[in-house]
Amino acid sequence: MALSDDGPYVTAAVLCERVLRDQDGLFTIVRTLDRIIRNWSGPLPGDSAVPPIDVRATAYVALTAGSARGRATLGLRVVKPSGEILLEKPFPVLFEMDERAAAVAVDLAFPGDQEGLWWIEIRLDGQLATKIPLRLVDQRVSGG
């Protein structure tokens, strides 16, 4: 299914701490984030490797059907600052009615082994729909 001016449309794409789903099927997004800062008081760079930042977040993505109908695959791809693809997760979605959204909340956990700007790419049947930024910062602080 191709993205077009007639839909489907990206209505939400956010990285957050967690997503709650109510009994009526509505979602609540808790604590959005676009940056993770870790204060590090260990060895200076070059003395030894600094362990990766433990990234744990939830990606919430909603696409409203517009004129799109039928099944498609929504893909999330985590891309390192180097451009390397760390992981990919596919999810089946169904577009039913004009205003109806196909939404997913995906728990992500991965080692942030590179400082810099990471991207969570949102793809629909392989076509890029949008990206969510996440900057990892390792801030070294002096001890004592």
Domains and CATH numbers, the chain: 9-36+52-134 (2.60.40.10)
* The predicted structure's pLDDT at residue 42: 67
Q: What is the pLDDT of residue 140?
A: 75
Task: State residue 48's pLDDT score.
Answer: 56
Over residues 67-93, the pLDDT tens digits come to: 999 999 999 999 999 999 999 999 999
109-116 long-range contacts, Cβ below 8 Å, gap at least 24? 109/54, 109/55, 109/56, 110/55, 110/78, 110/86, 111/52, 111/53, 111/54, 111/55, 112/36, 112/52, 112/53, 112/54, 112/55, 112/136, 113/52, 113/53, 113/80, 114/80, 114/81, 114/82, 115/81, 116/81
CA–CA dist 96, 87 (Å, integer) = 29
pTM confidence score: 0.88
Q: What is the pLDDT of residues 16-65, one digit of tens each?
A: 999 999 999 889 999 999 999 988 776 655 445 667 888 999 999 999 99
